[in-house]
Structure formats: C-alpha cells, structure tokens
Amino acid sequence: MSKLRVIMFETPHDGYFNIAFEEALARAKGCNLIDDTLRFFRNKNAVIIGYFQKAEEEVNLDYLKKIDAQLIRRPTGGGAVYHDLGNLNYSIAVSNNRSKYISPVDYIFSELIKGPINALNSLGFDTKLENINDIVVNNRKVSGTAASTSWNALFFHGAMLLNTDMERLSSVLKISQKKLIDKGVSSVKYRVTNLFEINNNISVEDIIKAFVNSYKELLSYDDVYYSIPNRKEIELANLLYDEKYSKEEWNFNRVSHSKFKQLEEQINNICNER
C-alpha cells in the first residue's frame, strides 16, 4: 500500500536550517529512510539563490543587509527568490522508481510539476505551466520550481507567492536586463504576482489541502498521513546545517557539493546505520 507522508516542518527564523532540511529530505528518501514525502515550510526573511548563482550577481547585498535578510544557497539550480512569511514553499521527494520509463528530469518536469498546477486549478485559479518550470496564473508567475536527481531520489520544490512583500522582493533581487527584455517587462514586480491578490478568499490551509489532494491523485497514493521528521532526518539536517548550509563558504562562494567530502562520508554513515 503506497502512502504519501506530509510534513509541515519549518524553522522560519533560521532559513539555513530550512534549506538544510530540503537536502536532508532528498537524502533521506534516497537512503530509503522515509516514505515519499510532501513538505511545506516558510522563511521569515531570506533570499534563496540557485546552486549555480553568484550572490553578488543576483542579490542587492546592501539592501539585503538593510532589511537584515539571510542569504542561503539551495542545493538546486534555477534563480534567486525572496522568502517571507507570505511565501509558501513546497517540496516533494519520491522514489526513483517513479521514472522507470522516462528520464528522471523529464519525469519531474512533466509529472511532478503537475502537483501545484492541479492544486491551484482545483481552487479555481486559471493555472498554466510556462517556460518549462514557471507556474503562471492570469499570465503572472506565482511560483518558480527547481529539482535535483542527485541523491537516488526525485526531488522537486518550489516557492509560491501568496502575500509576499513585492517591494522588498523587487528591491533585493537583481534581474538581468536581458531577462526583462526577454519577458517584455521593465521590472520583476510586473511579471510576478501574489495569489491572494487574485483571490483573497482562500487560505493557506486551503492551498495545503489542495496540494495534498493533488499529489495523492497524481501519484495514485492509497493514503496520506501527516507526520513529523524522524530522528535520522533531523540528524541529516543537523549535519548538513553544521557543515554546509550555515557556512559562508557554501552560501557566498559557489562551491560544489563534492567539495564537502567529509560530510558525504558522515551522511553515508547515517544512511547505512540500521
């Protein structure tokens, strides 16, 4: 009997731990320590940059300091995003077996990405997928998504704008002129929007329920259960936090996962303990 586990585990004041837990979730799934898991979390005030990005190229660092926001590199590619409590983050880690007949990356961006789209459509939003991985409502982007297949699991996550401070978002993120010209707009705030601006009669709880139902149906789970992180997930997250995500070297210097050799050994030890 296949089950979807749902966790609402967050540390909004400590974005470093929140993002460390993202990698821990993918690792835990890859080591078969958990069932397929859907997670929701928020950060209070943070900029999350993509794995390949240079902080100074993407972020207005003076403004970041002024608003006292954290800067954290995530383990996946894609662009920089601003997180406050008006932004709901979702992630799902599922078994590699799901992509038996299709490449893992194609599976993620053709199937797993339907989770948020179907969820928003079920709430009455006119939701579309655009430009490979952007989730768009009424022609405005409401969610960016990213993924990794690095840890023997399929890991997909996204950030959804519900009621984010758009002034802060557009002030803290630097957007290349080339991208703005490509999108035909003059500023990032003219191509993104908050879902609550489109419909303020829905709640965060409605959105979470819609996501859970959407993934239950999409991936044909027999059941859904709500849970909390297990001991090994927390151990993994603590390790990743201590050795990688809390470090300036990781967040600012753009180093690869493979640079953290000792961490890799420690993670393997946790995975292999039975």
Partner 1 sequence: MGYCELKAKKGLIRVSSEQYNGKIKNISITGDFMVFPEDVIWELEKDLLGVEINEKFINEIVTKHLSKAKLLGSTINDFVDVIICSLKGE
44/257 with CB nearer partner 1: 257
The nearest distance, CB 200 to partner 1, in angstroms, is: 30
13/179 with CB nearer partner 1: 179
The nearest distance, CB 131 to partner 1, in angstroms, is: 6
The nearest distance, CB 175 to partner 1, in angstroms, is: 9
The nearest distance, CB 244 to partner 1, in angstroms, is: 14
145/194 with CB nearer partner 1: 145
51/190 with CB nearer partner 1: 51
52/225 with CB nearer partner 1: 52
Q: Return residues touching partner 1 (CB under 8 A).
A: 50-54, 57-58, 76-80, 103-105, 109, 131-133, 146-150, 176, 178-179, 182, 254, 256-258
Beta bridge partners of residue 129, listed in sequence order: 135
Task: State the Cα torsion 158-232-254-169 to the nearest 10°.
Answer: 30
Question: CB within 8 A of 168, min separation 6: which ones?
Answer: 67, 82, 84
Other residues' Cβ atoms within 10 Å of the Cβ of residue 210: 20
The secondary structure of the chain in percent helix, strand, coil, rounded to multiples of 5, reads: 45, 25, 30
The nearest distance, CB 258 to partner 1, in angstroms, is: 5
Quote the strand ranges of the chain, DSSP E: 3-7, 37-41, 45-49, 70-73, 81-84, 87-95, 127-130, 134-137, 140-148, 153-161, 223-227
